[in-house]
Amino acid sequence: MEIPFSFRPRLVDALRGYDRVRFAQDLGAGLTVAVVALPLAMAFAIGSGLKPEAGLFTSIIAGFLVALLGGSRVQIGGPAGAFIVIVYDIVQQYGVANLIIATALSGVLLFVMGLLRLGTLVRFIPVAVIIGFTNGIAVLIALSQVKDFLGLAIPKMPGDFFGILGALGGHLSTINPWAAGVALASLAVIVGWQRWLPAWG
């Protein structure tokens, strides 16, 4: 069976008739996305057990490839919070070098799935499964940040749910009141900003 396949990056058509006005619009959009995506990428890298520059490099390179090979003129590429738990567990068990290998293999699998048009199978996944997966990821990400939120002296955080609970419970006596105070103040500012700023406007 012959599989129909055509590949034409949107950039080829978008560059036709390109002028200063569109460049100014793209520059403004790019700066807006960068202000949000770059700090987020660094935060996701830290949450995954990597250095902040790893998030920067990944965000810049991935953004360039999405713009170069993407199928939409307004497509935005950026980090996904759901991958924090997966990346963290891979780094803890196998190291950064094997994370790169796993990422490359994932790209190959995604290419093959796109070639075979397997993305249509997503419609058969129940909504309850997707919601449960998303909520589970959110809980794991929140638990992984409790260590830094309270300033706990935990040398190495495990990647699984019960392991994280055990590590947090076993090191509650090492709480750093200064770190916890700064974290609580920052959280209060974020919550208060969202609650009271619309009222001031």
Task: Convert the pLDDT of each residue in 54-104 to its tens digit.
Answer: 888 888 888 888 888 887 777 777 667 777 778 888 888 888 889 889 988
In a domain, 64, yes or no: no
pLDDT score recorded for residue 201: 55
Give yes or no for residue 200 having a pLDDT over 80: no
Report yes or no on 121 lying in a domain.
no
Q: Quick check: 45 and 55 in contact, CB under 8 A?
A: yes
| Count of structural domains, the chain | 1
**Integer angstrom CA distances of residue 124 from 35, 52, 63, 119, 128:** 36, 37, 30, 10, 12
Whether the model pTM is above 0.75? no
Residues 171, 189: Cα–Cα separation, whole Å:
27
- 103 located within any domain: no
Do the domain assignments include residue 15? no
pLDDT at 2 over 60: no
Q: Which of 21, 15, 35 is nearest to 78 (CA)?
A: 35
Q: Which of 64, 67, 68, 62 is nearest to 83 (CA)?
A: 62
Q: How confident is the model at residue 105 (pLDDT cuts 50, 70, 90)?
A: very high
Asked if residue 79 is part of any domain, the answer here is: no
**Which amino acid is residue 103, in one-letter code?**
T
- What pLDDT, on the 0 to 100 scale, is given for residue 185? 93
* pLDDT on residue 44: 80
Kindly state whether residue 127 falls inside one of the protein's structural domains: no
Q: Give a yes or no: residue 159 inside a domain.
A: yes
Q: Considering the chain, what percentage of its residues have pLDDT values greater than 70?
A: 93
pLDDT number for residue 198? 62
Asked if residue 165 lies in contact with residue 143, where contact means CB atoms within 8 angstroms, the answer is: yes
Instruction: Please report which confidence band the pLDDT of residue 182 belongs to, taking 50, 70 and 90 as the band edges.
Output: very high
* Residue 191: domain span: 149-201
Tell me whether residue 188 is in a domain: yes
